[in-house]
Structure 1
Amino acid sequence: MNVRPFTWLAPLALLACSPAQSPVSPPLEGARIGGPFTLVDQDGKRLSDSALAGRYRIMYFGYTFCPDVCPVDVQNLAAGLKLLEQSDPALAKEIVPVFITVDPERDTPAVLKQFVSAFHPRMIGLTGTPEEISKVAKEFAIFYQRGKGTTGGYLMDHSRQAYLMSPEGKPLALLPQDGAPQAIADEIKRWAE
């Protein structure tokens, strides 16, 4: 038997040069992120996760007194959703952007109302007791703690991620909230269809 050396590597080399297959399941499918909650919305009404059932959700945790990061992230998320409203209005209508505060001491419903209305007309702002916020933050794997005081008060240290959740409240993917709005719109469309 006359076999040329390494000819058996040719099929492997072709496979290695092929473009990677995109995953058929969402990257966070099966992750233990999220759970039931009942908090207070920007209108002072109790709102539970069951009120959002049947709709995709963008879940972002932050605080309104954040000097730079949270407003930029929320602005990018809202801009991504607005792009989706232009390209696929039917899908965009099924998505609810939700901002949950990690600073319930200062983020009252009135403060949240002013904050979320500056970004998107359908954005929901949620607050609650410190215990309620702690519970929902744990469910969504969000770290936060009160930082050191400054001359104007205090800052909050917190993790920053934006989750795309399914209509059943299950995690689908992380959204690139610190990227371009088009990347956010593309990622939503990729997993929410």
Structure 2
Amino acid sequence: MTRAVRIAVLLLILGLGAVWGAAFLARTPGEGMGATFARLMSNAPAPSAGGVAMPGGVSVGGAFTLVDGDGKTVTEADLRGKLALVFFGYTFCPDVCPTELQAVAQTMDLLGPQADQVRPVFITVDPERDTPAKIKDYVSLFHPAIIGLTGTKEQVTAAARAWRVYYAKVTPPGSSDYLMDHSAFTYLMGRDGSLKSLFRPGVSPEEMAAAIRGQLG
């Protein structure tokens, strides 16, 4: 990594850290940190009921074509009609993925009967290893309602681009295997497919459940 790139990365980290600090101070009552972060990044008014206001012309979510654990094609149309909790990760993930999926599972349990109105979705960023069978077995470890999706490299790239997800293959020094570096936000999508809330890594199930209830009305 060149010196210029290292400086750029450092400035980006410091900038995001400053925004997170501002988000902590600028939270409105009942507003999650993820929603506050998105609001400050977009310089938009505070939304209601956990909503996220995005800059004009910027969208999160959209058209995709993937397959579920049974090899059945799933598109954006299949997520409509219910709220959707969408998280991108991979089954070989050693830390953040199982932690966040456990939080999603606990959120579903906290919702009780209202969980029927929510569709949790796990989309892989590692289609080379995450076959439909592999991803089906993986999500079943966390909650029976979670749908695991995979696809070709091109299909996964398109889905990640729609949600503005960062991911990259990383091979640790001295290792013959690779890891996937990736962003780790959980997206709450509305019944119409629009972004409603953005949850940071480590958010509590209670906070997610409260934001979801705010969207259910």
Alignment TM class, shorter chain as reference: 0.7 to 0.9
* TM-score normalised per structure 2: 0.73
User: Is residue 130 of structure 2 the alignment partner of residue 107 of structure 1?
Assistant: yes
CA distance in 2, matches of 1:46, 1:152: 33
Gaps of 5+ in 2: 1-27, 31-46
Q: 1:71 to 1:152 in 2, by over 3 A?
A: farther
Counterpart of 1:168 in structure 2 is 192
Amino acid at match of 1:134: T
Amino acid at match of 2:213: K
User: Is residue 165 of structure 2 the alignment partner of residue 145 of structure 1?
Assistant: no
What stretches of structure 1 move > 6 A for 4+ residues in a row?
A: none
Counterpart of 2:178 in structure 1 is 154
Gaps of 5+ in 1: 1-19
Question: Alpha-carbon deviation of 1:69?
Answer: 1.0
Return the index of the structure with the highest Cα Rg.
Answer: 1
Question: Alpha-carbon deviation of 1:122?
Answer: 1.2
Counterpart of 1:133 in structure 2 is 156
CA distance in 2, matches of 1:52, 1:129: 20
Identity, in percent, stands at 43
**Structural mapping, 1:25-44, within 5 Å:** 26-30=50-54, 31-44=58-71
For residues 11-30 of structure 1, give each alpha carbon's deviation from its aligned partner in whole angstroms, at most 9, with x where no partner exists: xxxxxxxxx56643643245
1:95 to 118, 127, 134: 118
Counterpart of 1:60 in structure 2 is 87
Amino acid at match of 1:172: K
CA distance in 1, matches of 2:202, 2:132: 26
Counterpart of 2:207 in structure 1 is 183
Query: Contact 2:89/2:97 (CA < 8 Å) preserved in 1?
Result: yes
Question: Alpha-carbon deviation of 1:191?
Answer: 2.7
Query: Contact 1:61/1:160 (CA < 8 Å) preserved in 2?
Result: yes
2:147 to 103, 121, 124: 124
CA distance in 2, matches of 1:180, 1:154: 29
Q: 1:176 to 1:188 in 2, by over 3 A?
A: farther
Structure that is richer in helix per residue: 2
Equivalent pairs counted in the alignment come to 171
Q: 1:82 to 1:169 in 2, by over 3 A?
A: same
CA distance in 2, matches of 1:26, 1:41: 29
Backbone CA RMSD of aligned residues: 2.0
* TM-score normalised per structure 1: 0.82
Equivalent position SS for 2:145? coil
Question: Alpha-carbon deviation of 1:181?
Answer: 1.7
> Comparing both chains, which one has the higher relative contact order based on Cα–Cα distances under 8 Å and sequence gaps of 6 or more?
1
Question: Alpha-carbon deviation of 1:124?
Answer: 0.5
Counterpart of 1:24 in structure 2 is 48
